[in-house]
Amino acid sequence: MLAPGVETLPWEEQLALDDEAYRAQLAYLLERSPFYRDKLANAGLADAAQAGGLADVGRVPLTTKQELRDSSTPENPIGAHLCVARDEIVRIYSTSGTTGTPSYIPLTASDLDNWISGSARSYAASGISAGERIVSTYNAGPFAAGAALASFDRLGLCHIPVGTGNTERLVKAIQLLEPEAAVLTPSYAAYLIEWTAERGIDLAGSSVRRVLVAGEPGAGEPAFRAHVQDGWGAQLTEAMGIGDIGVSLFGECEHQDGMHLGARGFVHAELIDPQTTQALVIDDGATGELVLSHLRHRAAPLLRFRTRDHVVVKTSPCPCGRTGPRIRCIGRTDDMLIVRGVNVFPSAIREVVAQFQPDVSGHIRVRPTAEGVKQDPPLPVAVEVGADAAPGDDLARAIADRLRATLVVQTRVDLVPFGTLARSEYKTRLVD
């Protein structure tokens, strides 16, 4: 454990510290952030006393990515939530905007240091330790993932960056430099199993004992996890960050039972119902959209930021000794479909379909027939058959039956030949 004093602190004590930090963060924002001064005033919270503490966090309106984007101007391209002078900013990341203009994420020196501290705790939870080698496959470029790479230095690892899109180079690095760990997206981890199998390369026999994945949901699905662990002969643990809030905020430990909040003390996590935006109680098994607030941020702190990530919470004690609730990401709220009143996540469909391996490859594509979230049954799902499978006529029916029994959704399963659905070296699209 990187910071045992912090990571094993009883959760009530953590919340007491966080309450103090949150009140200070609110006062800071009211003083410095035009965006939050307006937003809080509109909600009848013109001073910090009216806004209260963490117990009253629900009084504060939610913040969306779009609002931040809308507040940027040519004079202030970062947006009205910027709180510091130009010379206090040491790093500016960006996210790829759908409109063509990126949105910018500024950090002060202390913000960057906190990001790296949280990320280092999240990655250390995987069990990786100083002196080990890790091969990374992120071309971080303008993106916040760059700060995750810095956390490998903090952990005392030997970092071998090979970047994205060069599988030959990656496999060569694994064969020759014998790293103990590899960090990549879940999609790429699965792709490499197929890529090496086609070339007769023994991936499971390689030096890699830990596969650390991040960047998209799905690595917590039991069938997917088993497939990757078998293919790599390694333990898979996942990490998760939110560009606007922090990199690798959460990281799973060797017990593989959900991700711990590595960025505890820097970030406060809540759960809401994505439809009604009502706050939900964080108890064992609760599911909802993750909402995050900065507690000690300086450059452009955010309050109650909607992550659009749909998570399930675990509150039982973890044998590793880290305290606090753990999460597993089920899917993106943006990807969610509603089929005759039932919420359906494409990643959940993939999880059920993967139970039919090796008759199926594990690759699926949901093909909605209507625009928007609401869909009429049956929902078309393309399912790729396995590499050497000769499935019987009843496979599509069996999959549809299992989907109906597990997810209460009526689907039309169309089997497609192996290799039909596009693979990704970065993130997989599950919906057409």
> Under the rule (CB under 5 A), what is the footprint of Zn ion?
253, 255, 318, 320, 322
Name which of 225 and 298 has its Cβ closer to Zn ion.
Answer: 225
| DSSP 8-state assignment for residue 431 | B
Q: Smallest gap, in angstroms, from Cβ of residue 285 to Zn ion?
A: 17
Q: Residue 211 or residue 413: which is nearer to Zn ion going by CB?
A: 211
| Least CB distance to Zn ion at residue 133 (A) | 24
Output the DSSP codes for 321-352.
Answer: ---S-EEEEEEEGGG-EEETTEEE-HHHHHHH
Contact assessment for residue 249 and residue 118, using Cβ atoms and an 8 Å cutoff: yes
State how far the Cα of 64 lies from the Cα of 68, in Å rounded to an integer.
7
Other residues' Cβ atoms within 10 Å of the Cβ of residue 25: 23
In terms of Cβ atoms closer than 10 Å to its own Cβ (0-12, 13-18, 19+), residue 266 is buried
Q: Which is nearer to Zn ion, 253 or 403 (CB)?
A: 253
DSSP class of residue 10 equals -
Nearest approach, Cβ of residue 242 and Zn ion (Å): 21
Q: Which is nearer to Zn ion, 154 or 255 (CB)?
A: 255
Please say whether the beta carbons of 160 and 133 come within 8 A: yes
Contact (Cβ atoms closer than 8 angstroms) between residue 241 and residue 267 = no
d(C-alpha 194, C-alpha 190), whole Å: 7
Q: What is d(CA 105, CA 144) in angstroms, rounded to the nearest whole number?
A: 8
If the CB atoms of residues 227 and 322 are measured against Zn ion, the closer one turns out to be 322
Strand 379-385 versus strand 411-416 pairing type: parallel
Q: Are 167 and 198 in contact (CB under 8 A)?
A: no
Query: To the nearest whole angstrom, how small is the minimum distance from the Cβ of residue 318 to Zn ion?
Result: 3
* Cβ closest to Zn ion, residue 171 vs residue 253: 253
Which residue, 97 or 321, is less far from Zn ion as judged by CB?
A: 321
Q: How far is the CB of 311 from Zn ion (least distance, A)?
A: 16
Query: How many Cβ atoms sit within 10 Å of the Cβ of residue 239?
Result: 26
Q: How far is CA 121 from CA 107, 129, 390, 426, in A?
A: 19, 11, 46, 24
**Residue nearer to Zn ion on the CB measure, 132 or 254:** 254
Minimal distance, residue 428 CB to Zn ion, in Å: 27
